[in-house]
Amino acid sequence: MKKISQRQLIIFYCIYSFAIKFLMLPQLLSTHAGKDAWLSALFGTVLELAVLFLVLNVLIIGRDGDIYSDIRNNTKAIGGKIIIALMLAVFLLQAFILIRSAYHLLNDNLFEDISVKLFSVPMLIMGIFFCFLPARAIFRSGEIFYVFIIIGIALSVFPALSQISASEILPIADHGAKPMFTGFYYNLIYFESASFLLMFSGDIKIEKHFRKKFMITAGIVGLFFVFFVFMFYSLFGPLAATKNIAVANLTLYSSFITNNGRLDWVLITIWLLLLMLRFGVTFYCCFTAVRYITNVKHRAGLIGLPLAVFIYLITTLLFASQESLNNFIKNIPWLIAGLYILIPVLFFINSLINKKKKAEVTHV
């Protein structure tokens, strides 16, 4: 079976990283950090790159096996299942965020009074569909659509460049470091964009300069997001804390778009595509985690359908509004931060142990 190429993996990482950040995160960072939101974005990006570095090392060391087999080699079966269950919790939370983000993208910009109960159904159906696909086919989708994504970013960013004013940003950090640290601490879940790679360990082709090329690309993406947040607050000032769909709001500063009708629907459609692709992969990661925990092999429907029902019920009942989801995330930042850092560290340590064991066997 063909493995996921380096190009496919890097492209999809960019899609995965872009999808939520450019919608909800600028507003959330602005709420906590004000004009220093871009510094919160910078701190979050640095941590994101550090976590990615650990994950890439895990992929390189354990290139021949899946993560569950690797972690089970050094823990009892129950220990491996607990660690995978922690990953599942992170992926489920991201799935809830993705459904809510896609819902608000359409409901706030193109339609009115869409029912989230109906809207979430096609997303969940697509998630189940992803469970039947081979890993390489999933990542090929990103390779097919990335040109449209570049167009979407260009439509949202470049028309607004001439309107940037540093007066809304200066002076820097005049309220101290606390607001900027608070900003990224309470929103760490939005910076989590590396753990999904672990679920495809064994399906990835490790090519020459794999880590170097990946880190350079991720660094460029991260710095671009920092600039995006800087631009967002410089355009809207204190009102940035009320603009919950960042990429859509930036179209207000495009004379080309406003003079030629509602072309912003093109941008919204492209961004919806990003969210759908990320949701499909996130659902697949949830499915894979449940499969590891339950030891159910190659039964996508048996796991996918109950998983979709569970996500549907939690999204429509427990998180019936965006505010309820935001409040839930705000109440457990310590847990999210712990899982965000603990999971890749555990896998990195485990990979070093496995590497040492292999070296000892080879030496003998």
Is the residue at 31 inside a domain? yes
Is the residue at 364 inside a domain? no
Is the residue at 135 inside a domain? yes
- The rounded distance, in Å, linking the Cα atoms of 360 and 364 is 6
- pLDDT tens profile 76-132: 668 788 888 999 999 999 999 999 988 888 887 777 778 888 889 999 999 999 988
Is the residue at 359 inside a domain? no
Query: Residue 204 phi/psi, 5° resolution?
Result: -105, 135
Look at the pTM and tell me if it is higher than 0.75: yes
Q: Alpha carbon of 86 to those of 212, 297, 340, 355: distances in Å?
A: 29, 20, 10, 24
Q: CATH number of the domain at 202, please.
A: 1.20.1740
Query: Pick from 1, 2, 11: which is nearest to 197 by CA?
Result: 11
Q: Check pLDDT > 70 for residue 256.
A: no
Q: Check pLDDT > 70 for residue 32.
A: yes
Number of domain units in the chain: 1
144: containing domain: 6-354
**Both structure tokens of 93:** 């939370």
Is the residue at 144 inside a domain? yes
Strand partners, 4: 204
Q: What is the mean pLDDT of the chain?
A: 84
Instruction: Grade residue 224 by pLDDT with cuts at 50, 70 and 90.
Output: very high
- The rounded distance, in Å, linking the Cα atoms of 208 and 311 is 39
Q: What pLDDT shows up at residue 309?
A: 95
Is the residue at 92 inside a domain? yes
DSSP state letters, 179-215 = HHHHHHHTTGGGG--SHHHHTTTTSB---TTHHHHHH
Is the residue at 1 inside a domain? no
Is the residue at 224 inside a domain? yes
